Amino acid sequence: MKILAGLTALLLSTVMLASCGSSAGSSSEGPSQGAQVTAVAPPPDIAEYPDSDSSERVPWPYEDGELLSGTADPGFAEGDPGEVSVIMVGPRTGSKLLFVYRNNTDDYIAEMEWTATVRSGGQLVATGGSQGDMPAHVEPGAIGTSYIYIPSSVEIPSDAEYSFDVEYDEASMASYHRAPLVITEMNHLGDTFVGEATNRSGVPIDGSYTVSVFCFDDDELLFEAGRGSGANDKELADGESVPFLVELYGRECPTYLASVAGYYK
């Protein structure tokens, strides 16, 4: 059953896409480039969540912050106490309105479904729903990334006010729910990101595998570098990995936050 979270309103300032130089964080050393984004608050003492059998609970199998990795550190806001709330709204790129949120509840959450309304001068000008929250599970205190789909034909004024609402489930290993993987290597090589993600859930995970890369320039959210995919859709036993590649198509991505997800069997 979906859990309802409170409403968050944000005023979007004009966001300009900066023309940046090549990323200084490029590396062929693997995990050394992927600085982990850690939770502001530690998880609660009882770090457990349901497995595929809802009558049983298993320990949270991940370390703090390892489900969202990268080099970006824009100094995110703390968000609303006790709520899942939006802490950054980025530019609208095509039909995507990008945003970042923080989970300040005591829950390990998943299957997030966001809705947004857009007003200008008190008048409703657009509405939309989220597609593809990442990472698949978000622990207490941690951040997540997502976007609202709004058709590119809809014009949104620069002074628009956005209101967000969210429903979510408690994170579990229920069949066909989205399953997070841990990025163990990620390299920025020219116009691409190439890396590898590992199943550390303790249970088998299946494809298809989705890769999300949010690009930043200092404290400015620039764009999502497409929705890449794993090199194959094979089942991964616990400890097995899948390689992935995400293309930038000529765009600069000075720093980034990335995550990978598949599905529980």
For the chain, give every domain's residue range. Answer: 3-13+76-170, 31-41+173-264
What is the reported pLDDT for 176? Answer: 86
What is the reported pLDDT for 28? Answer: 34
Q: Does domain 3-13+76-170 have CATH number 2.60.40?
A: yes
Task: Name the architecture of domain 31-41+173-264.
Answer: Beta Barrel (2.40)
What is the reported pLDDT for 246? Answer: 94
Contact 133, 142 (CB under 8 A): no
Which of left, alpha, beta for 251 (phi over 0: left; psi -120 to 50: alpha)? beta
CB-based contacts of 95: which residues, under 8 Å, 6+ apart? Answer: 149, 150, 151, 152
Contact 170, 108 (CB under 8 A): yes
Pick out the chain residues at pLDDT < 70. Answer: 1-56, 226, 228
Strand duo 161-170 + 3-4: pairing: antiparallel
What is the reported pLDDT for 36? Answer: 34
Tens of pLDDT, residues 218-252 = 999 999 986 767 778 899 999 999 999 999 999 99
Q: How far apart are CA 23 and CA 33, in angstroms?
A: 11
Q: Where are the beta strands (DSSP E) in the chain?
A: 3-4, 8-11, 48-50, 57-59, 69-70, 84-93, 96-103, 109-120, 123-130, 137-138, 143-149, 161-170, 178-189, 192-198, 205-217, 220-230, 241-247, 255-264
